[in-house]
Structure 1
């Protein structure tokens, strides 16, 4: 009986040891897997987002045509702005088109187009009165004086009409501000008559040097010291885009307000809307 009890006790001890060892192994294995999972999650979380740059952003390359950009799926399929003859698209996952704002943009564009056409017509019709020849007769002097008076009256009428037409052109500025404000956080991509002309970064985007909305003006200057960063008359800073980005006309544009970067974009010079 003593032998049997001793044997049973030994088996119980051995069984307990195996259970404890198994639990420790499972805990170690689970911990190792969890550690790897946590490390992977940390690595993924630590992976910085793609920088905003001329060498590519969200699947968009500056050398792409409009059809190529839309086919690549980098943008939403429907325009979010039609201001001034250009067409803007939101990045994938961006806001839906605002029909009210876009209807206003279309109206503003139509009025501005008619105003410019009328101004061009008025300029083309205007004729400069030739000077009176030396030794002109009294009759010629009187006729010249009458024509000069007519021209002065026509010029006054033209100036009045120009002032009215200018009001329609001035509608573009507030419409542009409304568009920029509506799409400031999400960014947009702009196409003109010659294709891609502007890539506006979302508010959370940063360049490879870490500059974006919220950066101070000093941080901007320090990040691009010695790299041809120049202020413009429009209250922005421009920087030539890196080579191989789709052509020499591409520039970074940093909009600065109250000592901080308020907007970031890539802009192609010498391109126009309709």
Structure 2
């Protein structure tokens, strides 16, 4: 959404956004298309971030206890978010995808369209309910009530369509974020460190490692299967986990993520 705090609405859409946050890195979202519009930041090289280890407490100079300003001060991240979706901001690693102003403007417009459609649906529903509660059942009044109900249903459908488009966009941005790697913040609080493609853990696990290699590397260290395709172990900070998403018996994504704020 990003991330601003962009999620200024509640109710049905809030539930969808919460579900997306909980599913960050799952196989379902990994299947979405990536964003070809994201290009490497000018004058940078990905070499600075490919030899780092993803550990229980962070990645490179980044630590999961850091605030946004502290994380940006490390120099490991580009200085502006590449995505603002929902209630969080995504930052690329130095050398990763650069912000695309036109795409981000389109995302912002989409969020405003959702908010506008939700307000229109709420107003139409309230108008229909008020009329029904204050008028009788004459033929004319029944016809008016039916029309107001139809208007409410139409406005609700437009709200659902806008929300669906927003959710699909969130999924696309989330997948692009996980593919490239980066750090996500909600407000000033770090919520995710997604490892870039060539990162490894100190135990030698990387994207493409087999499930058997993953289990062997963390044998006796608390690695558990928490859902289909997801393996986790406690990170160094309470409320955080080191998470591995597995597809076709191979590690697809690795990340440190906050399970609670």
Q: Which has more radius of gyration? A: 1
Q: What SS is found at the alignment partner of 2:111? A: helix
CA deviations 1:92-117 (Å, max 9, x no partner) are 23232222332222222223344455
Aligned pair partner of 1:220 in 204, 214, 217: 214
SS in 1 for 2:63: coil
Residues 145-164 of structure 1: matches in 2 within 5 Å?
157-164=151-158
Ranked by relative contact order (alpha carbons within 8 Å, sequence separation 6 or more), the top structure is 2
SS of 2:160's partner is: helix
Q: In structure 2, how many angstroms separate the alpha carbons of the residues matched to 1:89 and 1:186? A: 10
Q: Which has the higher helix share?
A: 1
SS at match of 1:171: helix
Could you say what secondary structure the match of 2:232 adopts? strand
Change (3 A) 1:151 1:213: farther
Structure 1 unmatched ranges of 5 or more: 1-47, 129-141
CA contact (8 A) 2:244 2:255 kept: yes
Checking the alignment, whether the CA contact within 8 Å between 1:236 and 1:253 is kept in structure 2 is no
Deviations 1:7-47 (A, max 9, x none): xxxxxxxxxxxxxxxxxxxxxxxxxxxxxxxxxxxxxxxxx
3-state SS of 1:82 partner? strand
Number of the residue aligned with 1:93: 95
Per the normalisation by structure 1, the TM-score is 0.60
- The residue correspondences of 1:70-219 to structure 2 (distance < 5 A) are 70-116=72-118, 157-193=151-187, 195-219=189-213
Deviation at 1:198?
1.2
Question: Structure 2-normalised TM-score?
Answer: 0.63
Q: Distance in 1 between matches of 2:210 and 2:145?
A: 55
> Distance between the aligned counterparts of 1:214 and 1:153, measured in 2?
58
**Secondary structure at the counterpart of residue 96 of structure 1:** coil
Structure having the larger proportion of residues in strand: 2
Two-structure CA RMSD over aligned residues (Å): 3.7
Cα displacement (A) at 1:60: 0.7
- Structure 1: distance between partners of 2:108 and 2:249: 34
Separation of aligned partners in 2, 1:64 and 1:120: 40
Q: Which runs of 5+ in 2 are unaligned?
A: 1-49
